Amino acid sequence: MKYFGKWLIPFVAAIAVFIGMQFDSSLYAKPVGRVESVQVIKTTSHDDEDQNHDRLTKQQVKVRLLNTAKRGQSVTIHNTYSFSGGLDNQLRPGEQIFLDVDKGVYTLNNIKRDAILAALLVLTFGLIFLVMGRRAWLTSISILLNTVIFFIAVTWEIGSKQWQAWWLFVGLAVVFTILTAVFIVGFKPIAVTISLGSLLATGLAVALGYGVLTLTNYNGVHLEEVKYATQMPQLLFFAQIVIGSLGAVLDEASDISVAIFQLHDSAKERFQAGMAIGRNVMGPLISVLFMIFIADTFVESVLWIRNNNSIAQTVIWVMGLGFAQSLISAFGIVLAVPMTSGLAAFMAKIKKVAA
């Protein structure tokens, strides 16, 4: 009973955080309110030129302010939402919302979701600590450091020159890899193997992808479809590949290296063992990357097809970049198997000789 009880702790903590953050409105400078009541004013049908049908509903919402100098007062706002819900939200009694105010008139800004996000964060880290034990501290610190470094790099990149941005993301990938490897296994030769294997495989995969795309003159790959591109789309495209594929390659390199360093066979046998392990994990990792890509483009693909675009056109313009990124990332996953196996077998042999 005691064993099962400790697994309830993260869930209880998440619920407590969720409840507690219902009362954090005073921490925000932006007006926050709770929806008291909702009245539907009217509902109208809407059809566009592609015969897409939708319903627009206008709500009159009574909101009680939870912060600012007018805390406790009630205001009335109007909200229009669509049945499809692509760019708007239906308001329901009990929800907390952010408000904008202009000359005393309040309008909806967004739904307040910090409570659910904080609860999920507590639940995630709680389960990590239960599964990993003491090593969870290292994992948590690694995630925190990588996140902070990433935001610093992105902030710097926004104001950098075009050519600087590429080297910034390359440096970011190196830092991510080394930090993660060190936190996984410590300052040991195996960390060098994991880092070198991951970086070399990712670098060669990106170089191979760049070479193939350059030789084919990017035929069928529409870089102008890179989302929210305010700089060179080609640069952002390859930066996405480097950062996106690094996690899968690092995971694979870690599995192979850890296994090889535990063996006491010859270098050749260690290499063969690493290759066998790589073959087993290579397929699932490529499948995971592909499924992430499918999930990322699914909604937009449905929208394109619903707007009378052909499947071929949808694949080219919506899925084309994702297919290219997944393929280049798969190059890295495949190349990481022999490269990491060879490095690990060599480093393990040196360690054995030194001992």
DSSP of 233-294, one letter per residue? HHHHHHHHHHHHHHHHHHHHHHHHHHHHHT--S-HHHHHHHHHHHHHHHHHHHHHHHHHHHH
Interatomic CA distance for residues 82 and 43, integer angstroms: 9
The pLDDT of residue 224: 65
The average confidence (pLDDT) of the chain is 84
Instruction: Look up residue 156 and give its amino acid.
Output: W
Count of C-beta atoms within a 10 Å radius of residue 323 = 16
Residue 151's SS3 state is helix
* DSSP assignment letter at 316: I
The size of the chain, in residues, is: 355
Residue at token pair 């409840």: 19
What is the band of 354 on the pLDDT scale with cuts at 50, 70, 90? very low
Interatomic CA distance for residues 201 and 204, integer angstroms: 5
Structure tokens at 315: 């694949």
pLDDT at 153 over 90: no
- Range with the largest mean pLDDT of 38-52, 155-169, 172-186, 228-242: 172-186
* DSSP assignment letter at 229: -
Residue 89's SS3 state is coil
Structure tokens at 20: 């507690």
What's the whole-model pTM score? 0.72
Residue 78's SS3 state is strand
pLDDT at 49 over 80: no
